[in-house]
Structure 1
Amino acid sequence: MFTMWFGETPVVLINDVPTMLETFVKDGEAYAGRPKMEHSFSGEFNLGLEGDYWRDHRRFSLQVLRNFGLGRNLMQERVLHEVVELIDHVKAEVKAGNEKVDMMAIVDICVGSIINSLTFGYSFDKVKFLLFTKLFEKKNIFEIK
């Protein structure tokens, strides 16, 4: 924990996760009010997030993050599942005698699968995902003209 000064205003920074959790998650109500700073380097600093408004948005945000696995091993389990599948795929490619393995495609599948799992509740079928990405690359369907 340390303090930085923005002009005459001290700002306390916390740089380790256990202290952040203790401070903002477990004792968040104690930190609900924020001092008003009229301007920052990028414009208006204070967004009016304090009091009841801030508390309601904080509760909503924490609920959404908990549903996505924050504070549980759910996220870690999903990532580890994909990592195990990635390793198995690379081993199978090597065993099949392939000298080159497209790691970027495999990592894309893993990341896409994790995002899809969080968003829709199921992982990608790896073959279909590869087919979709190849089609997107060939057709440039996201190109704006």
Structure 2
Amino acid sequence: MAVKTSPTPLPLFGNVFEINRVGIEPFFHGIKDKYGDIHTFWFGETPVVCINDVPTILKTFVKDGETYSGRPLDMMVTDMSRHGRNGLIFTDGPRWIEQRRFALKILRDFGMGKNLMQEKVLDEVTILIQSVKNNIKSGEKEMNLQNIIEIGVASVINAILFGYGFSTVIIFEPI
């Protein structure tokens, strides 16, 4: 008798309807409880292996990560819409390795991994916290934090590229 390691998938659809029926979180908790820490579910016609055990995850992806790196082989929609595996997200293999090395080199040249980058981010966080405090002191009950955070991130990027941030220039307005 074979050991069953996954819920029964439907042809073409896999377990998508079951995920939709019970919800994604209850689905994953349920199959973990029923099938154990290593199990498979089907996303359409693609099998997806789930590992829920930290030592196994470390052994699999950290110690033997090269074996599991890469993208799924069958990406018909991507292949048709992008004329193959192009771009930053869907690239795989030697092209991906080359792009990753190039990106890391450029980011290091801009200060990633150095205290300079950390200092710029911490300066911006200080400005953002002060801005939120000022809005609270002025009696604001609601603030759009998404806009404040977006401006902060853009300001860090601007400070790296052009030497100055613009959070000190822009006064954050409440929603």
TM-score (norm 1): 0.46
Greater helix fraction, Structure 1 or Structure 2: 1
Structure with more contact order per residue of length (Cα contacts < 8 Å, sep ≥ 6): 2
TM-score (norm 2): 0.41
